[in-house]
Amino acid sequence: MSGQSQRGINFTEGEIFGRGAPDREGYTPPRSGLPAIDPESALPAGTLRGQLEGFPSLSEPEVTRHYTRMSQWNFAVDLNFYPLGSCTMKYNPRINEAVARIGGFTTLHPMAPQEQAQGTLQVIDDLEKWLCQISGMDAATLQPAAGAQGELVGLLMIRAALTARGNPRKKVLLPDSSHGTNPASAVYCGYEAVTLPSGPDGRVDMAQLDRLMDDETAALMVTNPNTLGIFESDIIQISKLVHDRGGFIYCDGANLNAFLGKARFGDMGVDVAHVNLHKTFSTPHGGGGPGSGPVVVKQELAPYLPFPVVAQGDDGAYSLEYDRPQSVGRAHGFFGNTGVLLRAAAYILSMGPQGLAQVAEAAVVNANYIRARLGDHYHIPYPGRCMHELVITDKLQSEYGVSTLDIAKALIDRGFHPPTIYFPTITRGAMMIEPTETESLETLDSFCEAMIEIADLAKADPESIKAAPVTTVRTRLDEATAARRPQLRCSLCG
């Protein structure tokens, strides 16, 4: 089953500059009927430019082919398995796209009067309620544009609540396995990021927590299940200890896929959490498109939510509430990334409560299946079952000079996106594999077989793995030189 990446037609494609011909044109817009304006009289001299030397004049098919060819160098979940750990690269159902394209949503002007935006406001209100139900929390904001922004919004709310109690405190505690955005958000919010060393089993070490959680610590930012794919089974005791010392629990909910419909942040003593719609709720990652990182909170933090807040009046009409004196402010223009919210709402409705719980079951079973199949071929640093993702290392392969990076590149030749590598940083040579629930047994098997073949070759013919990838348009890139001496300017810019 491997070898799916081989293509008969692999286009190389160079820069677009210097191509075409001066008189060649693409699309010409029709005349507008408005009076022509002379730029020289309308704009300051310094802003005017004459001819741009070498700027390409191209036909529409030339432009289309240029970008389409380059897009084929890319990889997508629509092409094959994409087990990028921590990113939950599940398949994005097409029904979501159909819903997000409904004219009543797409043609709504963001400045339209609220009476004309009732449909969109209702979706926001419903989605907030569903996310609260799923997470066991009391209130939500859908404004944050990604998980990282959700973290900042959540910490700002904690800071506001502590300030109202009389002391915002100085530090935020973070397990050493946490995602890099967590300490970054803490520092951005004006806190000192203090590292909490994990225990030998990869979970929060209660003794270390007890030692470090003091009366200057505002919050513990914990990820559950954590980035090693391990459930923080002491979470109730953890929350109790932090609450007893006057701190808050921020839960990074990026890994919610592992217990969707099975367990809730609210029942674990969490005060505030973010969830990633572009992971758990099947909205697309990237492609230039936006993400969405809603934040859910317990009642105590609700007054601090970003404004405006959607409210429903007694007459059933929805409105935007701006009068929120304790709010931490706006986090996003208008209603957040509405197109993403619509996709997530469509997903929740099409799955239903039982469907969502099956997501978690299949995601966990799939990860444990891979774990069981690879266990004889790769070093597995943390014993016991995992949740929705597993971490393996290159310890066995490094004896033959083959590293995690080499294994990742060899997977590309076999048609798979590599897993997340060298993260979490506390595990040497980590490969973090997250299959998600949307993959068939055949796909999981073909991935495992590719991994086993790589492990066998690492021993028998290590050079073949170190040479990978060989089936791509560009083979092994010199990442170090690219980072040390980047050349980011096109030839036109000199």
State the minimum distance, in angstroms, from the CB of residue 398 to another protein. Answer: 11
Q: What share of the chain is helix, strand, coil (3-state, %, to 5)?
A: 40, 10, 50
Q: Tell me, letter by letter, the H, E, C secondary structure of 301-330.
A: HHHHCCCCEEEECCCCCEEEECCCCCCCCC
479 binds, among ligand PLP, another protein, none (CB under 5 to 8 A by kind): another protein
Candidates 276, 282, 327, 397; binder of ligand PLP (CB under 6 A) is 276
455 makes contact with ligand PLP (CB under 6 A): no
Q: Is 428 in the site for another protein (CB under 8 A)?
A: yes
Quick one: 49 or 484, whose CB is closer to another protein?
484
Quote the CA–CA distance of 456 and 391 in Å, as a whole number: 19
Among positions 207, 480, 488, 493, the unique one binding another protein when judged by CB under 8 A: 480
- Pair of tokens at residue 124: 């926001």
Helices 181-188 and 147-165, axial angle in degrees (round to 10): 40
CB of 270 vs ligand PLP, minimal distance in Å:
14
Residue 254 interacts with ligand PLP (CB under 6 A)? yes
Question: Which listed option, another protein, ligand PLP, none, makes contact with residue 223 (CB within 5 to 8 Å by class)?
Answer: ligand PLP
303-340 burial: b if 16+ Cβ within 10 Å, else e: bbbbbbbbeeeeeeebbeeeebeebbeebbebbbbbbb
**Helix (H, G, I), strand (E, B), or coil: what is residue 392?**
strand
**Residues 291-330 as x/- pattern, contact with ligand PLP by CB under 6 A:** x-x-------------------------------------
**Any contact of residue 422 with another protein (CB under 8 A)?**
yes
Report long-range pairs for 303-308 (Cβ below 8 Å, ≥24 apart). Answer: 303/327, 304/156, 304/157, 304/160, 304/161, 304/328, 305/139, 305/140, 305/141, 305/157, 306/141, 306/143, 306/153, 306/330, 306/331, 306/332
Distance, in Å, from the CA atom of 337 to the CA atom of 289, rounded to the nearest integer, reads 10
Per CB under 8 A, does 488 bind another protein?
no
Residue nearest to ligand PLP as judged by C-beta position: 147
369 is an interface residue for another protein by CB under 8 A: no
174-213 positions binding another protein, by CB under 8 A: 180
Minimum gap (Å) between residue 428 Cβ and another protein? 7
DSSP state of 300: G
* Residue 86 Cβ vs ligand PLP, minimum distance, rounded to whole Å: 4
Phi, psi of 318 (to 5 degrees): -95, 145
Nearest to another protein of 356, 421 (CB atom): 421
Q: Between residues 126 and 192, which has the closer beta carbon with respect to another protein?
A: 192
Which residue from 274, 229, 227 is spatially nearest to 249, judged by alpha carbons? 274
CB 201 within 8 A of CB 108: no
Measured between alpha carbons, how far is 382 from 275 in angstroms, rounded to an integer? 26
- Of the candidate spans 12-20, 198-206, 368-376, 420-428, the one that interacts with another protein by CB under 8 A turns out to be 420-428
Based on the shown chain and the rule CB under 6 A, indicate whether residue 181 belongs to the binding site for ligand PLP.
Answer: yes
Binding of another protein at residue 483 (CB under 8 A)?
Answer: yes
Per the structure block, which two tokens stand in for 390? 């597993």
Q: Considering only 104-112, 204-212, 343-351, 480-488, which stretch makes contact with another protein by CB under 8 A?
A: 480-488
Residue 87 interacts with ligand PLP (CB under 6 A): yes or no: yes
Name the minimum Å distance from CB 189 to ligand PLP: 15
By CB under 8 A, which span of 69-77, 110-118, 206-214, 418-426 interacts with another protein? Answer: 418-426
Question: Among 304, 256, 328, 297, which residue's Cα sits nearest to residue 138?
Answer: 297
Cβ–Cβ < 8 Å for 370, 431: no
Footprint (CB under 6 A) of ligand PLP, residues 23-42:
none
d(CA 33, CA 412) in angstroms, rounded, equals: 53
Pick one of another protein, ligand PLP, none as the site partner of residue 293 (Cβ within 5 to 8 A by kind). ligand PLP
User: What minimum distance in Å lies between the beta carbon of 248 and another protein?
Assistant: 25
Q: From the list ligand PLP, another protein, none, which binds 147 (C-beta under 5 to 8 Å, kind-based)? A: ligand PLP
Task: By CB under 6 A, name the one of 223, 224, 283, 338 that touches ligand PLP.
Answer: 223
Pairing verdict, β 295-297 and 272-274: antiparallel
Spatial distance between the Cα atoms of 147 and 281, rounded to a whole number of angstroms: 13
Q: Spell out, one character per residue from 380 to 409, where the chain touches another protein: x when CB under 8 A holds, - when not.
A: -------------------------x----
Enumerate binding residues for another protein (CB under 8 A): 180, 405, 421-423, 425, 428, 479-480, 483-484
